[in-house]
Structure 1
Amino acid sequence: MPPGGMYAGAPENRARPAIDPLFRSAAVEYGNRAVGVVLSGYLDDGTAGLETIRSCGGVCVVQDPDDAEYPDMPRNAMQHVLVDFCLPGAELGALLSELAVREPGRRSAVQEHVAVEAAVAKRVLSDLETVESLGRQAPFNCPGCGGVLWQIGNSTELRFRCHTGHAYTAATLLAKQTEKMEETIWVALRMFEEHRNLLLRMNAEGSANSSGAERLEKLHLHIQRIRTMLRSTGAK
C-alpha cells in the first residue's frame, strides 16, 4: 500500500481509513498498474477514488450489485465510472489473480489536479491556495471542522473538500449535515427541558414570579415541537 495513503489526514466521507484516499494514492503511485475494487456497502464511498484510478489508466472493478448485500456502493460506482469488470464476489479472486500477472501498457502522466488532491488528503498540502486550485468555494460549512467547503471540479460526481482535509460526496455531506442537525435538536430539547424543570422547582418552592405559568406553557409547546421534529427525522 502507498505510504500515508490510507491512515494519514482528515476523514473523507466520515471515515479514516477511507476508500477514496487509498484509491487516489494508489493511482498516483502506481498509475496503470493500480486496480480498484468496490464491494458491497452503503452510500457512494469508492466512486471518486475509482474515477481517479480510471483517469490514471488503472483497472476498475465492482462487485455485481445484484450479488452485493448492500448494493449502493457498486451501483453508484457503475453510474459514474466506466468500469472494466462487474462480477459476483465469488469470481473476483480469480480475476485479481489474472490482473496481477498481466503486463500493463505504457504509463501515462498523472494529471496535476489528481496529484494535488492526493497530497492534500495525505496532509502534505493543506492550505487555502491549494484547495482553491481544485475547485470553487461553496455556500456550505464543513460539518467536521466548521470551515469553508470547496466544490471539487473534474469529477462526474458532486464532491466537496475543506482546507483542513475533510472531504465529502454530496450524499455523505447530506448524511453528516443530518447527523449534526439531530445533535443540535437533541441539545435544544435538553436545554428546554432543564429550563422547564427549574421553573417547576421554583414554583414548588414558591420562588417563581407571576409569569411562571405562562412561561411553562410556552416551554411545553417548544418541547412538543422539538420532539415532533426528532420523531420526523427518525432520531433514536
Structure 2
Amino acid sequence: MFPLERQKKIVELLMIKKVMKLTELTKELNVSIDTLRRDISLLTKQGKIEKIYGGVKIVEENFGESTIDERMVSHLKEKETIAQKCSEYIQDGDCIYIDSGSTTFQIAKYIKNKKKLTVITNSIPVILELLNSDIELIIIGGKIRRDERSVVTYEYLFNFSQLNIQKAFICASGITIEKGISDYNMEEAITRKKMIELSNEIYVAADSTKFGKNVTIGIAPLSEIDYVITDHNINKLFINQFKQTNTNLIVLEA
C-alpha cells in the first residue's frame, strides 16, 4: 500500500471509530509502528487527525453537515461507482425518486438513455442534469434551500399521495444497525420519510464514511430499507452486522 493510500485509510478508519490505539492501526494496516508514526506525523501537520495518549483521534472540522459543494467533490470516485450500480436497478418505464444529495445526484448521469423513465426529485442539480434528456421530470413543490440546492416541502404544499413511485434512491449522513439512517436537516428528513413511505422499493446510496454515524434526525430504521449500496472501503464489522438484518447490503468491488 502506498503512503497516500495508507494515510487515506487511516482517516477513513478514524471517521468511523473516531479514536483508535496505535496498536489497532498497525494491525489494521499491517505496517510497523515507525511507518505508522510517520503517517500520523504528516496527517497531524495537515490538521486531519490529533495525537492523544497511546493513539489518535479524528479532527472534527464541522459540527454538523458539510456544504453541498464540499460533498460534491468528497469521495467522488466512490460516489460515482455507487451511482452507476444504482442505475443498474432502474429499468425502462420506471417511476423513481432521486433524493437531493451528492451521491444520489451522480445517478442522473447514468440514466439519460433510459426509455419512458419518470424521475421525481427535490434536487435542483438533478433537474439541471436531466433537463435536456427525454426523461419525464417532476420536481416537488415547496421551499428552496439555496445552500443545498434542494426543495423541501410539506403535505399542505404538495400532494404526495398522488405519486406512485416504484423505486426511491435516498441519501443519508449516518447509518447504524441500531438506529437506521439519519440526516442533519429536519425539513429534508420530512421529505425523505414521506418518499420512503410512498415507494415500493427503497435504496440508500451512501459511501462508506457514513457508516457508524447517527446524526441529528432519524429518518428510518433498517427494517424499512430494502438495499444499502456502498463502496469497498466499508469496515468489515458493518458487513457482518448487516447479515443479521433483512436489508441487503451491496458492497462494490475496488
With structure 2 as the length reference, what TM-score do the two structures score? 0.23
Q: Greater Rg, structure 1 or structure 2?
A: 1
